Amino acid sequence: MSGKTRNQWEMRDPRDQYPQPPFPEQPQPKPGEARRMEPQPDHGEESYVGLGRLKGRHALITGGDSGIGRAAAIAYVREGASVVINYLPDEQADADEVIELLRKEGGTIHAMPGDLKDEAFCEKLVADSAEKLGGLDIVVNNAGKQVSQPSILDITTEQFVDTFRTNVFAMFWICKAALPLMPPGGSIINVSSVQGYKPSANLLDYASTKGAILNFTKALAEQAIEHGVRVNAVAPGPFWTVLQPSGGQPQEKVQHFGEGHPMGRPGQPAEIASAFVFLASQEGGYMVGETIGVAGGNPAE
Protein backbone atom coordinates (compact mmCIF):
# COMPACT_ATOMS: atom_id res chain seq x y z
CA MET A 1 0.00 0.00 0.00
CA SER A 2 1.22 3.49 -0.83
CA GLY A 3 2.56 5.71 1.93
CA LYS A 4 0.45 8.60 0.58
CA THR A 5 -3.26 9.33 0.92
CA ARG A 6 -4.91 11.90 -1.32
CA ASN A 7 -7.97 12.92 0.68
CA GLN A 8 -7.54 13.75 4.34
CA TRP A 9 -11.32 13.73 4.96
CA GLU A 10 -12.25 10.43 3.30
CA MET A 11 -13.40 7.94 5.94
CA ARG A 12 -11.27 4.80 6.15
CA ASP A 13 -10.05 2.22 8.63
CA PRO A 14 -7.13 3.98 10.39
CA ARG A 15 -5.31 0.69 10.96
CA ASP A 16 -4.55 0.22 7.27
CA GLN A 17 -4.61 3.84 6.15
CA TYR A 18 -0.81 3.73 5.93
CA PRO A 19 1.88 1.02 5.63
CA GLN A 20 2.28 -1.42 8.48
CA PRO A 21 5.49 -3.13 9.61
CA PRO A 22 7.62 -5.04 9.01
CA PHE A 23 9.74 -2.52 7.14
CA PRO A 24 13.10 -3.16 5.44
CA GLU A 25 16.40 -2.42 7.15
CA GLN A 26 17.46 1.10 6.21
CA PRO A 27 20.34 2.44 8.26
CA GLN A 28 21.35 6.01 7.47
CA PRO A 29 24.11 8.24 8.80
CA LYS A 30 22.94 11.18 10.92
CA PRO A 31 21.00 13.36 10.31
CA GLY A 32 19.46 11.21 7.56
CA GLU A 33 17.24 12.05 4.60
CA ALA A 34 13.49 11.45 4.41
CA ARG A 35 13.65 10.80 0.67
CA ARG A 36 15.74 7.67 1.34
CA MET A 37 13.17 6.09 3.65
CA GLU A 38 11.14 3.02 2.67
CA PRO A 39 8.20 3.41 2.71
CA GLN A 40 8.25 7.13 2.05
CA PRO A 41 6.73 9.20 4.86
CA ASP A 42 3.57 11.18 4.14
CA HIS A 43 4.08 14.79 5.26
CA GLY A 44 0.84 15.91 3.64
CA GLU A 45 2.40 16.71 0.27
CA GLU A 46 -0.69 15.36 -1.52
CA SER A 47 -3.17 14.96 1.31
CA TYR A 48 -3.23 18.20 3.34
CA VAL A 49 -5.80 20.77 2.19
CA GLY A 50 -5.77 24.18 3.88
CA LEU A 51 -8.79 26.26 4.87
CA GLY A 52 -7.15 29.65 5.46
CA ARG A 53 -7.04 29.32 9.25
CA LEU A 54 -3.58 30.96 9.48
CA LYS A 55 -3.95 33.63 6.81
CA GLY A 56 -1.54 36.50 7.40
CA ARG A 57 0.39 34.72 10.16
CA HIS A 58 4.19 34.45 10.41
CA ALA A 59 5.77 31.22 11.63
CA LEU A 60 9.22 29.88 12.49
CA ILE A 61 9.53 26.08 12.50
CA THR A 62 12.74 24.36 13.58
CA GLY A 63 13.51 20.99 12.03
CA GLY A 64 11.20 21.95 9.17
CA ASP A 65 12.96 20.02 6.41
CA SER A 66 11.46 16.59 7.18
CA GLY A 67 9.26 14.61 9.53
CA ILE A 68 6.82 16.38 11.82
CA GLY A 69 8.40 19.77 11.10
CA ARG A 70 7.88 19.39 7.35
CA ALA A 71 4.26 18.34 7.93
CA ALA A 72 3.71 21.46 10.04
CA ALA A 73 5.34 23.66 7.38
CA ILE A 74 3.15 22.23 4.61
CA ALA A 75 0.02 22.68 6.71
CA TYR A 76 0.91 26.23 7.79
CA VAL A 77 1.68 27.45 4.28
CA ARG A 78 -1.50 25.89 2.91
CA GLU A 79 -3.44 27.54 5.76
CA GLY A 80 -2.13 30.91 4.59
CA ALA A 81 0.91 31.52 6.80
CA SER A 82 4.34 32.64 5.66
CA VAL A 83 6.99 30.34 7.10
CA VAL A 84 10.69 30.12 7.91
CA ILE A 85 12.11 26.63 8.30
CA ASN A 86 15.37 25.92 10.09
CA TYR A 87 17.43 22.74 9.65
CA LEU A 88 21.02 21.55 9.64
CA PRO A 89 23.03 22.33 6.50
CA ASP A 90 23.43 18.58 5.91
CA GLU A 91 19.64 18.37 5.51
CA GLN A 92 19.53 20.76 2.54
CA ALA A 93 18.28 18.11 0.09
CA ASP A 94 15.16 17.45 2.16
CA ALA A 95 14.63 21.17 2.71
CA ASP A 96 14.85 21.86 -1.03
CA GLU A 97 12.02 19.38 -1.66
CA VAL A 98 9.50 21.05 0.62
CA ILE A 99 10.56 24.57 -0.40
CA GLU A 100 10.13 23.75 -4.11
CA LEU A 101 6.74 22.14 -3.48
CA LEU A 102 5.29 25.05 -1.53
CA ARG A 103 6.73 27.80 -3.70
CA LYS A 104 5.26 26.16 -6.80
CA GLU A 105 1.89 26.41 -5.08
CA GLY A 106 2.43 30.12 -4.49
CA GLY A 107 3.28 29.79 -0.81
CA THR A 108 5.82 31.88 1.09
CA ILE A 109 8.58 29.82 2.70
CA HIS A 110 12.15 30.79 3.56
CA ALA A 111 15.14 28.65 4.49
CA MET A 112 17.48 29.47 7.36
CA PRO A 113 19.88 26.56 7.94
CA GLY A 114 22.09 26.46 11.00
CA ASP A 115 22.96 24.59 14.18
CA LEU A 116 20.60 25.23 17.11
CA LYS A 117 23.23 24.14 19.62
CA ASP A 118 24.73 27.62 19.13
CA GLU A 119 23.04 30.25 21.32
CA ALA A 120 24.08 33.14 19.08
CA PHE A 121 22.62 31.38 16.04
CA CYS A 122 19.29 30.80 17.83
CA GLU A 123 19.05 34.51 18.65
CA LYS A 124 19.92 35.47 15.08
CA LEU A 125 17.44 32.93 13.70
CA VAL A 126 14.59 34.53 15.61
CA ALA A 127 15.59 38.09 14.70
CA ASP A 128 16.15 37.28 11.03
CA SER A 129 12.88 35.33 10.82
CA ALA A 130 10.91 38.27 12.19
CA GLU A 131 12.63 40.62 9.74
CA LYS A 132 12.19 38.32 6.75
CA LEU A 133 8.53 37.58 7.49
CA GLY A 134 7.57 41.06 8.63
CA GLY A 135 6.70 39.78 12.09
CA LEU A 136 6.66 36.65 14.17
CA ASP A 137 3.55 35.24 15.83
CA ILE A 138 4.02 31.45 15.69
CA VAL A 139 7.08 29.53 16.90
CA VAL A 140 7.31 25.74 16.64
CA ASN A 141 10.24 24.22 18.55
CA ASN A 142 10.35 20.88 16.77
CA ALA A 143 14.03 20.09 16.02
CA GLY A 144 15.35 17.24 18.11
CA LYS A 145 18.25 14.88 18.64
CA GLN A 146 17.60 11.20 19.45
CA VAL A 147 20.29 8.52 19.66
CA SER A 148 19.48 5.04 20.92
CA GLN A 149 21.95 3.55 23.41
CA PRO A 150 21.43 0.25 25.27
CA SER A 151 22.96 1.48 28.54
CA ILE A 152 23.89 4.65 30.37
CA LEU A 153 27.45 3.31 30.12
CA ASP A 154 27.26 3.80 26.35
CA ILE A 155 26.12 7.44 26.52
CA THR A 156 29.08 9.78 26.26
CA THR A 157 29.09 13.17 27.90
CA GLU A 158 29.23 14.67 24.40
CA GLN A 159 26.04 12.89 23.36
CA PHE A 160 24.25 13.79 26.60
CA VAL A 161 25.18 17.48 26.32
CA ASP A 162 24.36 17.65 22.59
CA THR A 163 20.93 16.10 23.18
CA PHE A 164 20.10 18.64 25.86
CA ARG A 165 21.51 21.57 23.88
CA THR A 166 19.45 20.60 20.82
CA ASN A 167 16.21 19.66 22.55
CA VAL A 168 16.10 21.93 25.62
CA PHE A 169 18.68 24.71 25.47
CA ALA A 170 17.73 25.72 21.90
CA MET A 171 14.07 25.85 22.90
CA PHE A 172 14.98 28.12 25.83
CA TRP A 173 17.11 30.42 23.67
CA ILE A 174 14.49 30.64 20.92
CA CYS A 175 11.58 31.28 23.29
CA LYS A 176 13.57 33.91 25.19
CA ALA A 177 14.39 35.74 21.96
CA ALA A 178 10.95 35.33 20.39
CA LEU A 179 8.59 36.24 23.22
CA PRO A 180 9.38 40.00 23.23
CA LEU A 181 8.69 40.10 19.47
CA MET A 182 5.37 38.26 19.54
CA PRO A 183 2.05 40.13 19.60
CA PRO A 184 -0.98 39.17 21.69
CA GLY A 185 -2.58 36.19 19.97
CA GLY A 186 0.78 34.63 19.21
CA SER A 187 1.47 30.97 19.83
CA ILE A 188 4.54 28.95 20.88
CA ILE A 189 4.32 25.20 20.33
CA ASN A 190 6.97 22.90 21.80
CA VAL A 191 7.37 19.29 20.70
CA SER A 192 7.65 16.84 23.57
CA SER A 193 6.96 13.10 23.26
CA VAL A 194 5.25 10.22 24.99
CA GLN A 195 8.84 9.53 26.05
CA GLY A 196 8.39 12.42 28.46
CA TYR A 197 5.80 10.33 30.33
CA LYS A 198 6.80 6.75 29.56
CA PRO A 199 10.56 6.65 28.87
CA SER A 200 12.18 3.80 26.97
CA ALA A 201 15.35 2.40 28.50
CA ASN A 202 17.33 2.87 25.27
CA LEU A 203 16.41 6.58 25.04
CA LEU A 204 17.50 7.73 28.48
CA ASP A 205 18.87 11.15 27.52
CA TYR A 206 16.24 11.86 24.86
CA ALA A 207 13.37 10.94 27.19
CA SER A 208 14.83 13.14 29.90
CA THR A 209 14.77 16.14 27.57
CA LYS A 210 11.17 15.44 26.61
CA GLY A 211 10.15 15.42 30.26
CA ALA A 212 11.92 18.74 30.69
CA ILE A 213 10.02 20.18 27.72
CA LEU A 214 6.68 19.31 29.34
CA ASN A 215 7.54 21.24 32.49
CA PHE A 216 9.17 24.11 30.59
CA THR A 217 5.98 24.47 28.55
CA LYS A 218 3.72 24.64 31.60
CA ALA A 219 5.91 27.16 33.40
CA LEU A 220 6.46 29.40 30.37
CA ALA A 221 2.75 29.29 29.57
CA GLU A 222 1.95 31.04 32.85
CA GLN A 223 4.43 33.80 32.06
CA ALA A 224 3.61 34.24 28.37
CA ILE A 225 -0.17 34.47 28.75
CA GLU A 226 0.40 37.72 30.65
CA HIS A 227 1.49 39.06 27.24
CA GLY A 228 -1.39 37.38 25.39
CA VAL A 229 0.86 34.65 23.97
CA ARG A 230 -0.24 31.03 24.34
CA VAL A 231 2.34 28.27 24.97
CA ASN A 232 1.41 24.61 24.49
CA ALA A 233 3.02 21.33 23.49
CA VAL A 234 2.44 18.32 21.27
CA ALA A 235 3.55 14.87 22.45
CA PRO A 236 3.90 12.45 19.53
CA GLY A 237 4.11 8.69 19.88
CA PRO A 238 5.90 6.54 17.26
CA PHE A 239 6.01 8.56 14.04
CA TRP A 240 7.64 7.42 10.81
CA THR A 241 10.36 10.05 10.46
CA VAL A 242 14.02 9.99 9.47
CA LEU A 243 14.95 10.38 13.13
CA GLN A 244 14.32 6.66 13.58
CA PRO A 245 16.53 4.95 10.93
CA SER A 246 19.39 7.45 11.37
CA GLY A 247 20.27 6.21 14.85
CA GLY A 248 17.14 7.07 16.81
CA GLN A 249 16.27 3.39 17.11
CA PRO A 250 18.16 0.13 16.58
CA GLN A 251 17.51 -1.34 13.12
CA GLU A 252 15.53 -4.26 14.55
CA LYS A 253 13.13 -1.75 16.12
CA VAL A 254 12.94 0.28 12.91
CA GLN A 255 11.81 -2.85 11.06
CA HIS A 256 8.94 -3.32 13.52
CA PHE A 257 8.34 0.33 14.37
CA GLY A 258 4.82 0.90 15.74
CA GLU A 259 3.97 -2.79 15.62
CA GLY A 260 3.17 -3.12 19.32
CA HIS A 261 0.72 -0.22 19.39
CA PRO A 262 -3.06 -0.76 19.13
CA MET A 263 -3.03 0.84 15.67
CA GLY A 264 -0.44 -1.71 14.55
CA ARG A 265 1.64 0.84 12.66
CA PRO A 266 3.57 4.08 13.18
CA GLY A 267 1.93 7.42 12.64
CA GLN A 268 2.69 9.44 9.54
CA PRO A 269 3.70 13.10 9.90
CA ALA A 270 0.58 14.19 7.99
CA GLU A 271 -1.53 12.73 10.79
CA ILE A 272 -0.22 15.16 13.39
CA ALA A 273 -0.14 18.36 11.31
CA SER A 274 -3.66 19.38 12.31
CA ALA A 275 -2.63 19.49 15.99
CA PHE A 276 -0.09 22.20 15.16
CA VAL A 277 -2.67 24.13 13.14
CA PHE A 278 -5.19 23.95 15.99
CA LEU A 279 -2.73 25.20 18.60
CA ALA A 280 -1.53 28.03 16.35
CA SER A 281 -4.98 29.21 15.24
CA GLN A 282 -7.74 31.00 17.12
CA GLU A 283 -9.59 27.69 17.23
CA GLY A 284 -7.17 26.78 20.02
CA GLY A 285 -7.58 30.13 21.72
CA TYR A 286 -8.39 28.64 25.14
CA MET A 287 -5.45 26.23 25.10
CA VAL A 288 -2.71 27.39 27.49
CA GLY A 289 -0.06 25.16 29.06
CA GLU A 290 -1.68 22.07 27.56
CA THR A 291 -0.15 19.04 25.83
CA ILE A 292 -1.87 17.25 22.96
CA GLY A 293 -0.86 13.61 22.79
CA VAL A 294 -0.92 11.85 19.40
CA ALA A 295 0.18 8.31 20.10
CA GLY A 296 -1.85 5.83 18.05
CA GLY A 297 -3.78 4.26 20.91
CA ASN A 298 -0.93 4.10 23.41
CA PRO A 299 -1.55 7.35 25.31
CA ALA A 300 0.77 8.98 27.79
CA GLU A 301 -0.02 8.29 31.42
What are the catalytic residues?
206
Residues paired with residue 129 on neighbouring β-strands, in sequence order: none
Q: What is the dihedral of CA 284, 267, 50, 290, to 10 degrees?
A: 10
Residues paired with residue 140 on neighbouring β-strands, in sequence order: 61, 189
Looking only at the bridges linking them, the beta strands covering 138-141 and 230-236 are: unpaired
Is residue 81 packed enough to be buried (19+ CB in 10 Å), middle (13-18) or exposed (0-12)?
Answer: buried
* DSSP-derived 3-state class of residue 35: helix
- In whole angstroms, give the CA distance from residue 288 to residue 301: 20
Return all residues near 166 (Cβ < 8 A) that are at least 6 apart.
116, 117, 143, 144, 145
- In whole angstroms, give the CA distance from residue 292 to residue 276: 9
Residues paired with residue 234 on neighbouring β-strands, in sequence order: 191, 292
* Residue among 50, 56, 57, 41 at smallest CA distance from 138: 57
- Rg value, the chain, Cα: 18
Residue 25 contacts residue 251 (beta carbons within 8 Å): yes
Q: What are phi and psi of 139, to 5 degrees?
A: -130, 125
Q: What are phi and psi of 73, to 5 degrees?
A: -65, -45
**Strand arrangement of the beta sheet that strand 291-294 belongs to:** 109-111, 82-86, 58-62, 138-141, 187-191, 230-236, 291-294
